[in-house]
Amino acid sequence: MSGATARRVVAVEVPEPSPGLFSNCLVVGDMVHVSGQHAGRPGGGLLGDGSVRDQTRQSLRKIVALVEAAGGRAADIVKLTVYLTQMDRKSEVSEARREFFREPLPCSTLIGVNALVAPGLAVEIDAVAVIGCGAREEATA
């Protein structure tokens, strides 16, 4: 992929970070790279009910929105990295993930962390997608 350029992608559903911090989503060729997404609101607080299951859903909704804005779909997501502050709740992450993906599920790494960027956040997820690979049937969430 020598000489490929990175294209920044935005989605209405996903607030952009302040200028100069990072990009939510970059596309290089057919690869989509999505920065860690969480259930935090731009002005503070959480989207949804705050449970680990719902924070996972909120994170995955943002990821799917960015992948779709890049020209892909949920079935194109091939890798997830999940950061979780409450490892005893990992089954809720798995349950929410199954609402978005069908077999074969994306590759996934689960990492236990002490804290995330804002109070109350328990889950953050980053992703990689390959546009057009759609190797599985899509779920609806």
Amino acid at 24: N
Give kind and range of the element (H or E) at residue 36.
Answer: strand 31-38
Amino acid at 123: V
What is the residue whose two structure tokens read 């943002």?
Answer: 62
Burial of 91 per CB tally in 10 Å (0-12, 13-18, 19+): exposed
Alpha-carbon span 98 to 140, nearest angstrom = 10
Model-level pTM? 0.92
Percent of the chain exceeding pLDDT 70 equals 94
What is the predicted pLDDT for the residue at 137? 54
Give the DSSP letter of residue 76: G
Name the more confident of 110 and 44. 110
Please state which CATH class domain 6-130 belongs to: alpha beta
